[in-house]
């Protein structure tokens, strides 16, 4: 497992929260690494570790989007308050 401060390490911790079985976590990690290596070889991309902060912000953005969708489905409207 990677350090949680690195991008893949943060991904592992998030997947670990959602997955209840070790095989799901491992399969997710292997699939993500396979896609990463494929893109690097196919498109000659360089690997740039965006860090855990980037993925944490993306995860938070996804959670907010999902919460808004879920609230709209129930007939509510979510309004975000500015961060203090």
Assess whether pLDDT exceeds 70 at residue 7: no
Q: Please tell me the pTM assigned to this model.
A: 0.50
SS (H, E, C) the chain: CCCCCCHHHHHHHHHHHHCCCHHHHHHHHHHHHHHHHHHHHHCCCCCCCCHHHHHHHHHHHHHHHHHHHHHHHCCCCCCCCCCC
pLDDT at 79: 87
Assess whether pLDDT exceeds 90 at residue 11: no
pLDDT at 34: 92
**What mean pLDDT do residues 24-41 have?**
85
Q: pLDDT for 34-72, tens place per residue? A: 998 999 999 998 888 888 899 899 999 999 999 999 999
């Amino acid at each position: 497992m990677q350090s949680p401060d690195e991008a893949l390490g943060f991904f592992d911790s998030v997947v670990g929260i959602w997955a209840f079985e070790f095989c799901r976590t491992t399969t997710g990690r292997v699939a993500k690494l396979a896609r990463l290596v494929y893109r690097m070889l196919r498109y000659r991309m360089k690997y740039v570790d965006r860090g855990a902060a980037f993925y944490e912000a993306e995860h938070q953005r996804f959670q907010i989007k999902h919460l808004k969708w879920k609230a709209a489905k129930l007939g509510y409207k979510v309004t975000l308050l500015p961060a203090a």
